[in-house]
Structure 1
């Protein structure tokens, strides 16, 4: 990759060896299950009402082509933390405590949270963890000085039980509001002689979506929803509309609280020296291609339209690697570096946050652990003449609702999806002619050369990370 300077001021500051307190603070906000179309600035159709998020996205750089390596909670979060794929850290699907009580992010792995902590940052995480319940996987063993939240995955949208100061405590109120209250408290109580890292993992808009505040429900109570695929055979129109209203109301609660947090940064005169990142762990579907949910999707069809079950796919399930599952809404506001109102269309991955944030913080990456991502600093600074690979490799082996070994290779033109456990489910989409991925063209004879080329690169990507699914591939 070619190397470019960010800016004269940035380089001079680094070369001069600035004091830790002069380095930028970092606020990293991540929602749970937020679709790429669930923000008001989305370029396509949306019913989202997100004025505070829109302001944040316009105050920095909007990155509409941001992808998760795995479109489900735990492996996505593990990849973001370590810059390794889920298969490399042994987390292939969402961690199910009923059948995987001892699974988590192993403490011998280094996270970028640890790198910032070691670089002198005061670090806190608030909200969802979902990288292991046992104490050895606790956030405070992964680089955080402070934690309040939930070690597991699913929890209530109101009156939650959260871990605070090592003890479970019942709180009263809406979970999104409570988490933001503690994020604001972190800003107020932090040491003043260190830069800080605040990681805020919202629970919303993960189902269940209700209850929400009356002001967040009001824009959607009587909304007439336009379905993304209204002519999909057997689509359950009424259910799609109901779920959409509730989902977007949950997003609106996130938006209101993002506004609260951003306002606090302004009030404390922190905004000019704080890098703010907003993203989600993965995307979401709401009637798109006849499904709802994420990579472990569910059909949202009338009962007589449901496809029959197969050996590994129960009726009602639709595991997928659609863009609506893989893409996440993402913005970066880095004062002095990102251009306000800019849109960066480069394909990036959650794997890229590790090297990027370690670079921003002036930290060091571990010599003993691979870093699969790439430093986004030049991209965020607006450099366009970069030798940047736009192809995205993703993986998802579903273990709970279904059994699959999906691997995908996405170029700006094509997406090849192989299910190595269920090869009859293989897919090919022409993204230029069919960006909604409505027509699987893998059987078209004219595409065979393209399939062979994409398959070779897919296998090469799997080999590079020693993907265990390679054992199933016939050479």
Structure 2
């Protein structure tokens, strides 16, 4: 039977209600964020229907050289962003435990960026880096934002973002899914360039029957699986823009595979419910194996639910004949440890050893293992850009979440204002196969304050990685990535001259970058 992208029966009513609500502008005193700081994009379809002759005369006169032609020549953008996805948690990225045929298609039909990283391995500061190309320490967001304890915290008002610049250049923009950059109205996604938002402002929600914010700002419980619901809205947005010949950029931010992983649809759970999964081998013989295997089964199912919905997006682009004019991006907000190193979760990982190891650092509880391993910093990443990227391309150069801002502008042919400060680089030359000079070093940071206190700063080269924790004197890690890519042997206490020299060099680079960024964690500040 041929696949369709028809919304599930339980959801048809919510789509209809969404349009009815969006037709009525809510009271601005009640929903202040609806007063958006950019002009609405005109509807070219309506103009054509009223004055077709005048329109075609205009096209002939300007010779397709005006703004309309420039907009028409720009690609649509679908940015698919998952939450807590391990760097190899895609079959095409190397882990065959995962069933991801649709995500694999993006990897095979485009470019696989094999060294894609984030600069902070936890939700909020990583998302801040994605949208603003700035480090979290620069804008005061260094750990995940707690909706209860940090109600006044969010993305600084006035921060330059790529959705805003795309909107100003003629794109219609939407965010469907997770935001996690502030819950108050002044931090609303529509304040930062998205014309439409539906989803969650906070960091999490149930995988089924979640309370979600609709297009008009009201919040209500929506029956159905959250992955499906977010995708339903993204598909509806794409259909509406296509019907109006409107160039668009839609961000589909899944909250999966973030815990809790279950429930998922029966077809997503079926391959794994009786599986005895393989788990990573570690140096520890006290791993809580039953717990790790249970969580692994559930995590595998959550990733499959994401993949099924990615398939729905790709199918719709094919049906609407948009695939050739649409850039599709797949990546995640940070990596994840699935028992690797004896831990679970990301940069704020928990031990899965039983019993827990003894406490070693004053500001770090025994359960916690704050880290900056590649398993936490690295993300799966692929880009399909028909006519530009050759299918099957692999890009080994180091890129980071800070690079998306300038890269997306370049893809969309939008000029960056000179007044905007960015920390990232445009990597479109790499996508186009050009041989350009490229610095493969990475600087990363994580000042953790939920569950532990750290000021971890990292400098990573292709051959070495050095981590220093400024909140816990003496806590440092040095890895020889060329000989030990899995970071199993910490050489920080080594007295070998070559180790002391590389630690000194990378330590100086860390201090130099902290000085440049005016990092509050810099000693003496």
Same fold (TM over 0.5): yes
Q: Which residue is equivalent to 1:212?
A: 264
Greater than 4 Å deviation, 4+ residue runs: 13-18
Question: Residues of 2 paired with 1:46 and 1:284: CA distance?
Answer: 17
Out of 402, 422, 434, the residue aligned to residue 371 of structure 1 is 422
Q: How does 1:192-271 map to 2 (within 5 A)?
A: 192-271=244-323
What displacement does 1:16 show? 11
Q: Which residue is equivalent to 1:19?
A: 70
Q: Retained in 1: the 8 A contact 2:361–2:472?
A: no
What displacement does 1:365 show? 2.1
Q: Which residue is equivalent to 2:522?
A: 470
Q: Which residue is equivalent to 2:61?
A: none
Question: Residues of 2 paired with 1:84 and 1:451: CA distance?
Answer: 26
Q: Which residue is equivalent to 1:277?
A: 329
In terms of mean alpha carbon deviation, does 455-464 or 77-86 score higher?
455-464
Out of 368, 385, 389, the residue aligned to residue 334 of structure 1 is 385
Question: Residues of 1 paired with 2:209 and 2:86: CA distance?
Answer: 25
Equivalent position SS for 2:331: strand
Within the alignment, does 1:401 sit opposite 2:451 as a pair?
yes
Within the alignment, does 1:354 sit opposite 2:405 as a pair?
yes
Within the alignment, does 1:34 sit opposite 2:85 as a pair?
yes
Q: Deviations over 1:96-151 (max 9, x none)?
A: 12221100001211101111011110000000000001101101111011111001
Q: Deviations over 1:240-275 (max 9, x none)?
A: 111111011000000000001110011011110001
What displacement does 1:444 show? 1.1
Question: Residues of 2 paired with 1:46 and 1:367: CA distance?
Answer: 45
Unmatched tracts of structure 1, length 5 or more = 1-12
- Compute the RMSD of aligned alpha carbons: 1.7
Within the alignment, does 1:61 sit opposite 2:111 as a pair?
yes
Equivalent position SS for 1:279: strand
Out of 366, 373, 389, the residue aligned to residue 322 of structure 1 is 373
Q: Retained in 2: the 8 A contact 1:70–1:394?
A: yes
What displacement does 1:194 show? 2.7
In terms of mean alpha carbon deviation, does 276-285 or 161-170 score higher?
161-170
Question: Residues of 1 paired with 2:340 and 2:400: CA distance?
Answer: 22
Unmatched tracts of structure 2, length 5 or more = 1-63
Q: Which residue is equivalent to 1:130?
A: 180
Q: Retained in 2: the 8 A contact 1:420–1:472?
A: no
Question: Residues of 2 paired with 1:276 and 1:114: CA distance?
Answer: 19
What displacement does 1:56 show? 1.4
Question: Residues of 2 paired with 1:451 and 1:175: CA distance?
Answer: 46
Distance 1:250 1:230, change over 3 A: same
Equivalent position SS for 2:292: helix
Q: Deviations over 1:321-366 (max 9, x none)?
A: 0100000000001111111011111110000000011111122323
Distance 1:386 1:110, change over 3 A: same
Q: Retained in 1: the 8 A contact 2:207–2:263?
A: yes
Q: Which residue is equivalent to 1:391?
A: 441
In terms of mean alpha carbon deviation, does 95-104 or 201-210 score higher?
95-104
Q: Which residue is equivalent to 2:123?
A: 73
Question: Residues of 2 paired with 1:14 and 1:51: CA distance?
Answer: 41
What displacement does 1:22 show? 2.1
In terms of mean alpha carbon deviation, does 355-364 or 115-124 score higher?
355-364
Out of 482, 506, 511, the residue aligned to residue 459 of structure 1 is 511
What displacement does 1:18 show? 4.2
Q: Which residue is equivalent to 1:111?
A: 161
Within the alignment, does 1:159 sit opposite 2:201 as a pair?
no
What displacement does 1:307 show? 2.7
Equivalent position SS for 1:278: strand
Q: Retained in 2: the 8 A contact 1:158–1:173?
A: yes
Question: Residues of 1 paired with 2:288 and 2:524: CA distance?
Answer: 37
Q: Retained in 2: the 8 A contact 1:56–1:333?
A: yes
Distance 1:395 1:230, change over 3 A: closer
TM-score w.r.t. length of structure 1: 0.94
What displacement does 1:170 show? 1.3
- Please identify the structure whose Cα radius of gyration is greater: 2
Distance 1:302 1:113, change over 3 A: same
Q: How does 1:419-430 map to 2 (within 5 A)?
A: 419-430=469-480
Q: Which residue is equivalent to 2:46?
A: none
TM-score w.r.t. length of structure 2: 0.85
Q: Deviations over 1:186-207 (max 9, x none)?
A: 1112262431000000010000
